[in-house]
Amino acid sequence: MIDNKFDSIKENFIKYLTSLGLSPKSYKNYRSDLNHFVSWTLLRIRSFGSFVESLTEAVPFLDSDLAREYVSFMKVNEFPDKTINRRLSTLRHLSRFLVISQIIDSDFMVEIENISFTGGVKSQLNPMLREFCAHLKAQKISPNTVKNYESDVRQFLTWLETNHQPPVTNH
């Protein structure tokens, strides 16, 4: 098992970032984005029943499905679009680094595109979601129940956007 204080892949990736000649702010953001992704990934992998403590141990789990889940997580939790896209940029660098270093065989980020700033389905339905939540509150539904319904609807809308499913129409 890898000592949690030393994560060779993470350390080598950070050295790789240093070699790119990034501005101090970009370097800081990439490190922060990497830490966020690693923390989320370790928790996600643990939810599968595998105990991992480092990026090095998590590498076998890195694939486009996990990356899509991470994007969905950020959307559902309403991270700003720019933050999501910046984190995706960090993951693209990580994926390329892993391929170049021959740690993985294929780029797990190749299918993952930046999210658009145009809004999409979720943004178009936000007023409806607000109205729905207001209706629930007017019905004196508990705040926790309202919050749970709102989260479920947001997650569904994110899934809808991510899977590019057009709305169903009855003709």
The answer, yes or no, to whether residue 102 has pLDDT greater than 80, is: yes
Is 9:55 a contact under the CB 8 Å cutoff?
yes
Third-level CATH fold of 8-100: DNA polymerase; domain 1 (1.10.150)
Tokens read off for 62: 């890195």
**Residue 78 burial by Cβ neighbours in a 10 Å radius (0-12, 13-18, 19+):** exposed
Spatial separation of the C-alpha atoms in residues 92 and 88, rounded to whole Å: 6
Locate the domains of the chain by residue range: 8-100, 120-162
Looking at the chain, the number of H-run helices and the number of E-run strands are 7, 0
CA pseudo-torsion sign 131, 133, 134, 136 = positive
Predicted local distance difference test score (pLDDT) of residue 126: 67
Give residue-wise pLDDT tens across range 24-52. 999 999 999 999 999 999 999 999 999 99
Give residue-wise pLDDT tens across range 134-170. 888 888 888 888 788 877 777 777 666 666 545 555 5
pTM (global) more than 0.75: no
